[in-house]
Structure 1
């Protein structure tokens, strides 16, 4: 049964666990690339699709992020970081809706920070230890997308288990069901689907 997610947030509580050196190094490299989120398109049709996506998502997000400039910066960054990590931008937006309700400075009772409710220990494990950077838009989205991608890979593509691991509730249905329901609300008819269908069981 899907949880009602209107007006609620499920604070992230990723668990610190031993990572293989190769995984830790790959994550560290992923979050230290400081390239700004500027989508590049070789195909004009892909650029047109992106601009349509940006416009539609901006309309949907107006109530949550009223400032148009901040909203467009957030959406372009979320799209960039999602695609960079091989994720559907709609999935990332759904996760953010559930985790923080699009609040940049959200802090959970267990200390998770920002849009994607990243636990501060990650800044020590794969970053420079400065937890305050988790309130920086691109940094937070980059950490969150990179960590989710890692969990999907760890769970061999099982999105249900990966989402549970992201939230620190692996094996329980409430959080994955909430994110999957929110994901549907952010789907875009012309959104590119580069990822294979992921198992939800």
Structure 2
């Protein structure tokens, strides 16, 4: 019951944030038209593991690492499958995506930042309006991961593979190292496969 109430409260807050974001000052920061096009394409595509063995090895390893944050094994494996699928589709390391999620939301799919970013990967809701999909729900895990992975990959390409700069762009802190260092630290300590 408490979880249902939390979800309802989060959806109400989300609706308020979406409304506020849609009417916010458009001169504050114009959305990147190139990223807009990439996001529009990404919402239509998906892929995953090469074979069952690879899936079992990776899911078992990552599930153990994630157990203290998501105790329910069904939820945990479902999230890991989504992360792997969307990271692979975007040509990102799934472990990098897990590190970003850890830093952005600590694996809370209903997280809302002070800036209004939503979900696991803390995606700004103005993107839904920008690509003509205002009914999409950024608290829906596959949707949030699709947007977040696509955005991160776009910035990685834009920065010609410079992960630190791409992460700073993702966080809106280009020119500062704090956020990229936190993600890289989480990646090194918890998610990298030896």
- TM-score w.r.t. the length of structure 1 is 0.77
Q: 1:90 to 1:126 in 2, by over 3 A?
A: same
Q: Which structure shows the bigger proportion of residues in helix conformation?
A: 2
For structure 1, the residue ranges without an aligned partner over 5 or more in a row are 1-14, 190-201
1:27 lines up with 2:39 in the alignment: yes
Q: 1:93 to 1:40 in 2, by over 3 A?
A: closer
Which 4+ stretches in 1 moved above 6 angstroms?
Answer: none
Write the distance in 1 (CA, Å) between the matches of 2:68 and 2:184. 21
1:73-93 per-position Cα deviation (integer Å, ceiling 9, x unaligned):
000110110011000011000
Write the distance in 1 (CA, Å) between the matches of 2:145 and 2:95. 13
1:71 paired residue number? 76
Write the distance in 1 (CA, Å) between the matches of 2:32 and 2:105. 26
Structure 2 counterpart SS, 1:135: coil
Write the distance in 1 (CA, Å) between the matches of 2:38 and 2:32. 14
Q: 1:57 to 1:127 in 2, by over 3 A?
A: farther
Structure 1 counterpart SS, 2:33: coil
Query: How many correspondences in the alignment?
Result: 165
* Higher RCO (C-alpha 8 Å, min separation 6): 1
- TM-score w.r.t. the length of structure 2 is 0.79
For structure 2, the residue ranges without an aligned partner over 5 or more in a row are 1-28
Structure 1 counterpart SS, 2:43: helix
1:84 paired residue number? 89
Residue 127 of structure 1: CA displacement?
Answer: 4.4
Write the distance in 2 (CA, Å) between the matches of 1:68 and 1:16. 41
Correspondence for 1:123 among 128, 149, 157: 128
2:11 paired residue number? none
Tell whether the 8 Å contact from 1:167 to 1:175 is kept in structure 2 after alignment: yes
